[in-house]
C-alpha cells in the first residue's frame, strides 16, 4: 500500500499507461488493457484472430508461456511465417534439374 508521503515519488500516469491498464468496477474486470494486435493475417482482415483449441507439447507450451505476455501472438506470428513460406514455395513451382 502506498503511503501519502510516497505519492511524490510515483511517476505521473500518461495516456499510454492508462490505455494499457486493466479497468475494474469493484472486483469485476470491465476492460482488459491489452493492446490490440494489428497487421495482415493470412485469409483474414487485419487485426483479427479466431479463438481455437490446439494441443501443444508441454515443452512448447512452457517455452512460449515463459516468454511472457503475448505468447499466443508469437505462436501466431511463427505459424503465419511457415504458411507464407509454404505458399511461396508452391508458387515457385517444382524445380527442374
**pLDDT tens profile 68-92:** 888 999 999 999 999 999 999 988 8
pTM of the model: 0.48
SS3 category, 85: helix
Contact of 38 with 77, CB cutoff 8 Å: no
pLDDT confidence of residue 95: 63
Among 80, 22, 84, 19, CA closest to 50: 80
- With 50 as the cut, is the pLDDT of residue 53 above it? yes
Q: Which residues contact 24 (CB under 8 A, 6 or more apart)?
A: 30
44: β partners: 41
- With 50 as the cut, is the pLDDT of residue 41 above it? no
Give the domain ranges of the chain.
4-92
pLDDT confidence of residue 36: 54
The percentage of residues in the chain with a pLDDT greater than 70, rounded to a whole number, is 79
Amino acid at each position: 500500500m502506498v503511503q501519502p508521503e510516497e505519492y511524490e515519488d510515483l511517476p505521473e500516469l500518461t495516456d499510454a499507461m492508462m490505455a494499457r491498464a486493466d479497468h475494474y468496477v469493484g472486483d469485476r474486470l470491465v476492460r482488459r488493457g491489452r493492446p490490440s494486435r494489428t497487421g495482415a493475417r493470412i485469409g483474414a482482415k487485419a487485426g483479427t484472430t479466431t479463438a481455437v483449441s490446439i494441443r501443444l507439447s508441454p515443452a512448447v507450451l512452457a517455452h512460449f508461456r515463459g516468454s511472457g505476455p503475448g505468447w499466443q501472438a508469437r505462436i501466431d506470428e511463427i505459424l503465419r511465417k511457415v504458411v507464407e513460406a509454404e505458399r511461396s514455395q508452391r508458387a515457385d513451382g517444382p524445380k527442374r534439374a
